[in-house]
Every structure is written in C-alpha cells, then in structure tokens.
Amino acid sequence: MAPSWPGFASDERGAQLGTLCEYVHKPSGAGQNGSVSMSPRRRVAASRAWWAQSLGGSGWRRIRELDLDTHALAFCAQQVLCTAPLIVAMSAVMQRETGNGGGYILTRFFGLRGQSAQAVNRLFGNSAPSISTFALVLAFVTALIFSTSVGAVQQRAFEMIWTLPRANGFRSYLRQLGWAVVLGIYSIAMLMVGRVGRSFEGYAERPFAVLAAITQGALTFAFYWWSQRWLLGRRLTWRALLPGAICVGIGTAILFRLTRVIMPGQISWQVHAYGVIGAVFVLSVWLMILSGVIFGGILLGALITERRADAEKMEAGDTDESPLTLEGLQSAESRSEELPAAPPPQEFSST
C-alpha cells in the first residue's frame, strides 16, 4: 500500500503485489506425488514482480524516473567548479598559518605517497611567496558565495527524491549560503579528524585509523541529517530524514576507508600514463563516486521511510502519519493549487 500524504512518492506496489500473488498462488498443473508446480514463465514473472516489490527494485525504478545519475553528474561538476575554489582558499589560510597548503592536505587525506603525492602537490602548489590579507579574505568570500551552487544542486535533488515542490527565492538562497558556511566547517573538521588519526602512524595505526573513519562517518551523518532539514526548508520531520543520514554516514565511512587503500595506486598509475592530468581525472572520478554515495543514501533512506510508514499505516488502520511538517504540508497544498485543473469531460449529443 502506497502512502497517501501530499508530496510523498508512491510506486504502485499494490498492483505489483497483486501480480506476484496471482502468479505464485495460481497453479499451472500437477507434478509428481500430486504436487502443484509452476511453469518457467510464471516463475520468471513472479521473480520480476518480487524484484519490483523489493527495496532494490523500487530504488532502481526511482533512479530511472528521477534521472538521478544525471543529477549526480551535475553535483560532481558543481563540486569541481565551485567547491574547489573554496578548498584552494582554505588551503591558502592554512598555508599562511601552518606553512602547508592544499596539496599537503589532500595527500594526507587520501594517504598518498611517492609519485602520487608529488603530482597532487604540483596541482595545488602555491606560486606566490606571500598572500595579502585583503586578497585572502576576498578569495574566501568569493569562493563561499559560488559554493552555494553546490547547495542548490543538492536541494533540487532532495526535493525530487522526496517529491516536494521546488523552493525558489531569496530565502532559499540564504539557506544555501548558510549551508556553504557549514560545509566549510564540516570540511575542516573532517580534515582535522583524519590528521589526528594519521598522527598515530607506526603506533597502533590500524585501530586509530578505523576510529578516525568511524568519526568521519558520524560527522557526515550529522551534517547530512541537518543538511536535508535545512535545504528542504524544514518541510520534513527529523525522524523521516534519519534513515537517509545513516545511509550516507555509513557509505562515506566505507568510501573514506577504501580511498586510502585504492587511491594511491590509482593516482600513481594515471600519473605515470598521462602525467599530472591523470591525477585530475582520478580526483574527478572520486568526486563522482562520492556524489553517487550521497544521493544513493538519501534515496535509500526515503524508501525506508516510505516502507516504514506503510507498515505503520497497516498496523494502525486508517491513521496516516505524514513525514511532512506543517511547512511541508502547506508547500504541497500550495503546489496542488497552482496545478491546472483537469478539463471536464466532453458531452456528445446524438443527432
């Protein structure tokens, strides 16, 4: 049974469940010892209906309907074009305070050594011996403003996943600007946690590395739990957003741990084959994977919330607890009022 509240997606699982039951319970003939068997065609149809009913089938269908892979590509492009200047501005601050720039930060984050570390350091090496305070502040503010595009892409994807109407206007831009500020704080916290975990190299390295990955996953969980609530304008409850944040936190923790194992070899091979541009290619692919993990985790959380609401509705009878807050219900109602009404049926008179 699909949920009936405004603005929340439904995938007609009832019809698919009926198809599944029809093929499973309808006998196709008697086998040995009087047992009822199913024909291969009905087995295939029942398997397809079961897959369509499953969490994986619902997620794959929703990905195709929303064209979520294209949005992940757009998110990756925005990170390259908008977040990269923010990282460069942050690295300039660290270069001035600690003497280590963005190349050092990235090599430590990805666990790069040797040729791969040298390639990344050449990409983000500073050319000026000193940076003035005015130029540093101007670059940081400019990068922060342009980083709102990353928040805008995520906001639109979240709205599509939760089938909420699009929110535009100055207030939406202010939310994206505030999200960009918190993004910078979150990025610094992630780098600091990784730096603390790597400071124990040679002394209980593995336990502290695992603890750092878990801490980074917890930070990502908190960040995207809040990000959904903030970018969506408080139109969904905290409880509805919790599964998606957990999925993103677990996915990113696994990704960050695998990154330190896979990334050094990949960058070294690409740099050896294509030069410094090979490192750019590998970093872009990593951002694409990160975008897929984020959007996939949010979608999985939305599907889990949907199924949990279906189960609670069946247990409670007619009670339908919407994951939408008061702001979300008002947004959905205003959207339904803006949609054009269906034309009345035409009447044909017989002559």
Is 343 domain-assigned? no
30 versus 112: which is more confidently predicted?
Answer: 112
Residue range of the domain that includes 244: 63-314
Q: What is the mean pLDDT of residues 271-294?
A: 87
Is 161 domain-assigned? yes
* pLDDT surpasses 60 at 69: yes
Query: Following DSSP, what letter does each residue of 168-224 receive, concatenated?
Result: -SHHHHHHHHHHHHHHHHHHHHHHHHHHHHHTTTTSSHHHHHHHHHHHHHHHHHHHH
Write the pLDDT tens digit of every residue in 133-176.
Answer: 776 777 777 777 777 888 899 999 999 999 899 888 889 999 99
Is 198 domain-assigned? yes
pLDDT band at 221 (very low <50, low <70, confident <90, very high): very high
Structure confidence at residue 246 (pLDDT): 96
Q: How far apart are CA 37 and CA 287, in angstroms?
A: 50
Tokens 């692919």, residue located = 285
DSSP H or E stretch at residue 266: helix 238-274
Q: What is the mean pLDDT of residues 323-340?
A: 63
Structure confidence at residue 243 (pLDDT): 95
Write the pLDDT tens digit of every residue in 57-66.
Answer: 788 888 888 8
Structure confidence at residue 161 (pLDDT): 93
Is 327 domain-assigned? no
Is 19 domain-assigned? no
Write the pLDDT tens digit of every residue in 71-82.
Answer: 888 888 888 877
Is 298 domain-assigned? yes
- What is the three-class DSSP state of 307? helix
Is 290 domain-assigned? yes
Structure confidence at residue 157 (pLDDT): 92
Write the pLDDT tens digit of every residue in 223-275.
Answer: 999 999 999 999 999 999 999 999 999 999 899 888 888 888 888 888 888 88
pLDDT band at 208 (very low <50, low <70, confident <90, very high): confident
- What is the three-class DSSP state of 177? helix
Is 138 domain-assigned? yes
What's the number of domains the chain is made of? 1
